[in-house]
Amino acid sequence: MDTFSKKQLRSGVWRLQRKSWIWETRRTLDWAKQCGNAAEERLVNFCDLFYMYHGSSHFKKTPAKRWTYMSPNGQHYHELDHVLCNRKAITDVEVVPLFDTENDHNLLHAKLDFDRSLVRLSQIQSTQPQATTLDEL
């Protein structure tokens, strides 16, 4: 059995419908079906294990805005840098092509949208003291 048929990630696609963003879940990343090297398999396993959302894979971009690494000879372009998040907060991920980093990697730009009420609720819950239980002797 193919290893990627077992590996499924929580990922998603944003679609604009009636001027509101609606989150639609998609169980398997498109590139995970086609990848064959160990590094991409480790990324899929990592995201699956820690329930991470892979933001770089499900936003359609032109090829000029997808690659993050250029080989030293300048002939090959790869997408090596990724944006991972544990919430559905990623609204867009793209490469900034005009920013000069003076190395072989391009700068990634991610737009995040957090629900402030959920963030505040998680902060309040994390500061509450834990209940202590005493063992009977």
Q: How many independent structural domains does the chain possess?
A: 1
Are 27 and 6 spatial neighbours (Cβ–Cβ below 8 Å)? no
Q: Is residue 133 part of a domain?
A: no
Q: Is residue 135 part of a domain?
A: no
Taking the C-alpha atoms of residue 106 and residue 135, their distance in angstroms, rounded to an integer, is: 57
Q: Which among 131, 42, 121, 134 has a CA at the least distance from the CA of 87?
A: 121
pLDDT digits (tens, 9 = 90+) for 5-40: 333 333 333 333 322 333 333 334 444 445 567 777
Q: Is residue 115 part of a domain?
A: yes
Domain extent for 69: 3-123
Rg (CA), the chain: 19
pLDDT of 77 = 74
pLDDT of 5 = 38
Rounded to the nearest 10°, the torsion over CA 35, 95, 93, 28 is: -10
Q: Is residue 137 part of a domain?
A: no
Task: Give pLDDT < 50 ranges for the chain.
Answer: 1-33
